[in-house]
Amino acid sequence: MQFGHFDDEAKEYVVDRPDTPRPWSNYLGSTEYGAIITNHAGGFSFYRSAALHRILRLRGNAVPLDQPGRYFYLRDRDSADYWSSSWQPVGKPLDEYSSKCRHGTGYTIITSDYGGIATESTYFVPLGQTFEYWRLRVTNKGPAPRRLSVFTYCEFANVGHLLNDLTNLQYSLFVSKAESRQGMIAYASHPHESFDPKDLRSSCRYWMKICGAKVVGFETQRERFIGNYGSYAAPEAVVRGSLTNFETAGENMCGTQQVDLELAPGESREIIVLLGLGTPESHGVATAEEFGSSERCASELEKVKRSWHAKLGAVWVKTPDPEFDSMVNVWNAYNSLITYAWSRAASLIYNGERDGLGYRDTVQDFLGVTPLLKSDMRGRLELMLTGQVASGGAMPLVRPFDHRPGNEPPPKAEDFRSDDCLWLFHAVPAYVAETGELEFYDKVLPYADEGSATVLGHLRRALEFNLERTGRNGLPCGLSADWNDCCKLGYTGESVMVAFQVCYGLAVYRDVAERLGRKDEVAWAVAERAKLEQAIQRTCWDGDWFIWATGKDGTRFGTKQMEEGKVYLNTQVWAVISGVATEAQGKRALESMHEWLATPYGLMLCAPPFEKTPRHVMDGVVYNKGIKENGGIFNHPQAWAVMAECALGNGDRAFEYYRAYMPSAYNTRAELREIEPYVHSQTTYASCSPHAGKSRVPWLTGTASWSLFVAVQNILGIVPEEDALRIDPCIPRHWPRFEVQRSFRGHSITIRVENPASVCKGVRQLRLDGKVVAGNRVPVSALRDGLLVEITLG
Ligand code: GLC
């Protein structure tokens, strides 16, 4: 079934019918004032942290998943009939009520049509501001005049703290206060504590104002609006049609104001709700004065669009597969930017409990956004480098607003993960290749706990961290986890994936050192890699695939003799990506991966799933078979499989894997995947599960970053280097051509690739503005605006 379509020109996904299998969500705002909204106007808002500075409440894991939200209830004062400007929460029958939702970049527009009244509600956070707009346009499409009341509704989180708000009710319900002041409603938790308008973190002060119509009533306590036995679908106050103007002191606060509209046939009216941080006196009055007009609201919305579209414009592709293009041009890019901004801290699923920047996730999140953000990501990259400790390991979590490099206590030995800093060997070179800032490697940055080093020094410490912590076979220890959070190998068991990652890191380090002219460093990296490769070859090849670990007692996990967890995705693909596998091993390992792990929805993380393996080795056994780390289709590593297949030149299989988990490929059968067909997700149930094909944990996932990265770099083969743009596609052989517009080093260039011989890989000819040039690299010196790069494969 299809519930919506991609509108790439507008950079929107249009939900054409509202009864989506789950609420489909979008993001508003920035890392200062952030918000989630669904196609039913459900969702929440927060200042910097969804856990610690929650503004609007969401009741986690409820049915449906997205209530409450930012609602407009409409009521006909003559017939007493009522509905909402989004299908939910009232939920009128869909043969009488229709609704569409346009999720765009930083804004969402929901329209409804019911009983001759059309509405359009638009939600966004203006750039650089700490308030949100809800704009409602109501049109009378019928032949008779209509008398309508409109009621707003949202719930404020008490004490601004997710857990206290939802659980510590003997406290949180008694410190709230709301009053009508300055023509708006003022809300506070801890109203008696002093308020510093410059520190919006601790304030718990909010204001809400309606512009464009006279407010005829308000309600500030939830139960007075909903009723003690009412519901969001039928709030008592809406059924009744009036409010009580009650100023609450204590209890749950709601944001309800009523305006009455009289609409002649064909007439439209617009009201604007402003809801923001601070008090009416500190922020509200001035903000409403400046931003409270329809014209200003419209121009602020344009600014939001322009700002996002400028970022997305950095890479634009046209291939024979429009579903692929929708992802690369709009949704995968936007998804990557959102994930980069919010890490794993705010969604309908990550409802705020995970706070801060998880080390490994954040460092991987750079990859997708590098071409879009360019040097704008330098600050975050430096922040993460300063989250590395002097031993070479990393703090598991970096808190961007509170991080104190040089003063952070180092993690306990048992808390180190083995892979955290190894992701720097992707993020840092990607940054340098995009910007050309080779000197970045010489920048001195502090460690989190003590001391400092150049960026190159940080990278060396990262490698030494793993080389100094090896087990009985000379392979790096798994420590508290490798990429797989469930892999529990400690200081004696060894992780084969990390062994490959260290080899990869050593190769990158060697290349960088070479370019910097550091001969000793080159020699060191070459020698270390040779040693580690030998250790891997001695221990890890099992004839048809690579094993994935050795246990504390020396057990080899992932051998043919094992009954479960025999074939593990990550070690097959990293054997190839790292270049450690011989050609024959690589081919065989990827064939085994296909035989054992491929499903129509993507590759399982391992097979057969775990049932008896002890938790102290593989904690994934706690999950049901066929989901997450227990043989689920973990979407994050799918992109690595694409990389590995491309490395061997198998463009057909790489693309088959890519489409198997590509969200837009499920748009016409969205009931299968259930979640948003425009964003990536963490995991999908594998065929052995009764939920086969359903995807879970949308939006915030390393899948977004890696998928965009491999689409552009490995499939389309547009690879930035410090001094060139290398073009090395690996496409399905049936693609006759494709085109890419790319901004690189300040120039916008066009790359046209022709594939007359129907091959997957191999550049036969490169022409720059019509002139044949040897090789497949566009040197930086040749770049200019409008440069035409023509490639013929074959
Ligand atoms: C989750 C975590 C990520 C981890 C992965 C595999 O996605 O956020 O850090 O690598 O699970 O366990």
Q: Which atom of ligand 1 is nearest to the CA of 344?
A: 8
Q: Which atom of ligand 1 is nearest to the CA of 629?
A: 12
Q: Output the pTM of the full model.
A: 0.97
Question: How far is the C-alpha of 142 from the C-alpha of 117, rounded, in Å?
Answer: 7
- Is residue 484 within 6 Å of ligand 1 at its C-beta? yes
| pLDDT of amino acid 476 | 98
Structure token digits, residue 44: 């929440």
Q: How far is the CA of 330 from the centre of ligand 1 (A)?
A: 25
Contact 706, 364 (CB under 8 A): yes
pLDDT digits 0-9 by tens, 164-223: 999 999 999 999 999 999 999 999 999 888 899 998 887 799 999 999 999 999 999 999
Q: Which atom of ligand 1 is nearest to the CA of 682?
A: 7
Q: Which atom of ligand 1 is nearest to the CA of 487?
A: 12
- Is residue 629 within 6 Å of ligand 1 at its C-beta? yes
Helix (H, G, I), strand (E, B) or coil at 380: helix
Q: Which of 339, 359, 483, 683 to mutate to test the pocket of ligand 1 (most atoms within 8 A of CB)?
A: 483
Q: Which atom of ligand 1 is nearest to the CA of 484?
A: 12
Q: How far is the CA of 129 from the centre of ligand 1 (A)?
A: 33
Query: Which strands, in side-by-side order, build the sheet including 490-495?
Result: 477-479, 490-495, 549-550, 556-557
Q: How far is the CA of 484 from the centre of ligand 1 (A)?
A: 6
Q: What is the separation, in whole angstroms, between the first and last Cα of the chain?
A: 40
Q: How far is the CA of 784 from the centre of ligand 1 (A)?
A: 41
| 428 alpha carbon, distance to own chain's centre | 20
- Is residue 224 within 6 Å of ligand 1 at its C-beta? no
What is the DSSP secondary-structure string of 297-350? HHHHHHHHHHHHHHHHTTEEEE-S-HHHHHIIIIIHHHHHHHHHHHTTS-SSSS
For residue 172, report the phi and psi dihedrals to the nearest 5 degrees.
Answer: -65, -25
List the residue whose alpha carbon is closest to atom 10 of ligand 1: 483
Q: How far is the CA of 676 from the centre of ligand 1 (A)?
A: 20
Contact 727, 766 (CB under 8 A): yes
Amino acid identity at 440: F
Q: How far is the CA of 485 from the centre of ligand 1 (A)?
A: 6
Positions annotated as catalytic residues are 485
Q: Which atom of ligand 1 is nearest to the CA of 701?
A: 7
Helix (H, G, I), strand (E, B) or coil at 144: coil
Question: How far is the C-alpha of 470 from the C-alpha of 492, rounded, in Å?
Answer: 7
Q: How far is the CA of 361 from the centre of ligand 1 (A)?
A: 7
- Is residue 529 within 6 Å of ligand 1 at its C-beta? no
Run of H or E residues at 500 = helix 496-516
What DSSP designation does 142 have? S
| pLDDT of amino acid 203 | 74
pLDDT digits 0-9 by tens, 20-60: 999 999 999 999 999 999 999 999 999 999 999 999 999 99
- Is residue 578 within 6 Å of ligand 1 at its C-beta? no
Question: Per residue, what are the HEC states of 706-748?
Answer: HHHHHHHHHHCCEEEECCEEEECCECCCCCCEEEEEEEECCEE
- Which residues in the chain come in under a pLDDT of 50? none
- Is residue 344 within 6 Å of ligand 1 at its C-beta? yes
Question: Rg for the chain (alpha carbons), in Å?
Answer: 28
- Is residue 419 within 6 Å of ligand 1 at its C-beta? no
- Is residue 46 within 6 Å of ligand 1 at its C-beta? no
Q: How far is the CA of 151 from the centre of ligand 1 (A)?
A: 42
Nearest to 352 by CA among 163, 158, 168, 131: 163
Nearest to 50 by CA among 336, 250, 349: 349
Q: Which of 636, 699, 700 to mutate to test the pocket of ligand 1 (most atoms within 8 A of CB)?
A: 636
